[in-house]
Amino acid sequence: MKNSIKVERAKKDITQADLAKVIGVSRQTINAIEKNKYVPSTVLAIKLAQHFEVAVMDIFTLEEND
């Protein structure tokens, strides 16, 4: 699964640490999600989407092998 968190973050001009603080997770978690090393829970995915004011599927998209 790929995601566009880095792009959304760039649009809002916020750092991983800022985003982590707002969402209530560690900076490593945001980093791991961005690098596709960790698939977030549904709750976290919705929190991220709400923060960026977009739909969850606009941020997270399935790849062919998923």
Partner 1 sequence: MMKLLLPSAFRTIGLIMCASSLLYVFVLIFMNFGSDGTNLWILEIPWQLFMVSMVFVISARRRVEDEMIATLRLAAFQRGLYLGVIISFSYFVLNLMGLDFRLLKALHGINFILLYVVLSFEYQLRKLNHEE
Kindly list the residues in this chain that would bind partner 1 in the complex (CB under 8 A). Answer: 16, 25-29, 31-33, 35, 37-38, 40-41, 44
Whole-angstrom distance, CA of residue 14 vs CA of residue 30: 12
| CA distance between the termini of the chain | 7
Residue with smaller CB distance to partner 1, 26 or 50: 26
- For residue 5, what are its two tokens? 């968190």
Residue with smaller CB distance to partner 1, 4 or 31: 31
Beta carbon of residue 4, minimum distance to partner 1 (angstroms, whole number): 17
Residue with smaller CB distance to partner 1, 32 or 64: 32
Residue pair 65/36 in contact (Cβ under 8 Å)? The answer is no
